[in-house]
């Protein structure tokens, strides 16, 4: 994998790969996505554990930076409204994103939490569309992708326990 430097929505510069730790690249859908909010809440709740395992979180959204700046997330958030990195990593969109039965519960839970004011609602119009699929990549300090997952539907991503297990396996190698 080639090296690159990302600029987060807060202006921080992030190198990928990171010479000192693993990098978990998460490709999410759009700012305010109820499904993404559910997943990211689980990552936020266990962020200290993830960092202690030697993993740096970097999360991409195909939303503009101004829609992402107000989110209080403890990790790097990168706006990619042109989907440059989505294309580079082969992250797709498709009708199956929302049609799979495993997404329905997440849509209902995430939407209910949004209506209750726990999450910010998404913008009415999504430049990158609403049919994005998630993806996860775990990259070692040399730039080797040691694990990858391209979601089959909108709620198909690594749970934190799976991410930590992959990191343990990477450290053993």
Give the per-residue pLDDT at 173.
52
CA 20 – CA 23 distance, rounded (Å): 9
CA 158 – CA 49 distance, rounded (Å): 15
CA torsion, ordered 165, 48, 67, 58, to nearest 10 deg: -40
Q: How many distinct structural domains can be found in the chain? A: 1
Minimum mean pLDDT range among 24-33, 71-80, 104-113, 134-143: 104-113
Mean pLDDT estimate for the chain: 88
Q: Assign residue 96 the CATH number of its domain.
A: 3.40.30.10
Give the per-residue pLDDT at 122.
63
**Between 30 and 90, whose confidence is greater?**
90
The answer to whether 123 and 32 have CB atoms below 8 angstroms apart is yes
Take residue 76 and report the two structure tokens written for it: 């790097």
Q: Is the pLDDT of residue 159 over 90?
A: yes
The pTM of the full predicted model, rounded to 2 decimals, is 0.88
Long-range residue pairs from 161-168, CB within 8 A, at least 24 positions apart, any chain? 163/24, 163/50, 163/55, 163/136, 163/138, 164/49, 164/50, 164/53, 164/55, 166/138, 167/22, 167/53, 167/54, 167/55, 167/138, 168/53
Residue 150: give the domain boundaries: 4-172
Please give the backbone phi and psi of residue 44, each rounded to the nearest 5 degrees, phi first: -60, -45
Largest CA distance in the chain: 46
């Amino acid at each position: 994998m080639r090296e690159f430097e990302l600029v987060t929505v807060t202006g921080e510069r992030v190198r990928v790969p990171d010479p000192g730790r693993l990098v978990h690249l998460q490709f999410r859908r759009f700012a305010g996505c109820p499904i993404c909010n559910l997943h990211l809440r689980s990552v936020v709740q266990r962020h200290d554990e993830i960092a202690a395992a030697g993993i740096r979180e970097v999360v991409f959204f195909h939303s503009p930076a101004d829609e992402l700046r107000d989110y209080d997330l403890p990790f790097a958030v990168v706006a990619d409204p042109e989907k440059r990195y989505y294309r580079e990593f082969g992250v797709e969109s498709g009708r199956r994103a929302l049609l799979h039965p495993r997404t329905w519960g997440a849509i209902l839970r995430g939407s209910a939490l949004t209506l209750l004011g726990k999450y910010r609602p998404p913008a009415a119009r999504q430049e990158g569309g609403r049919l994005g699929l998630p993806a996860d990549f775990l990259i070692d300090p040399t730039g080797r992708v040691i694990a990858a997952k391209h979601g089959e539907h909108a709620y198909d991503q690594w749970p934190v326990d799976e991410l930590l297990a992959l990191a343990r396996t990477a450290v053993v190698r």
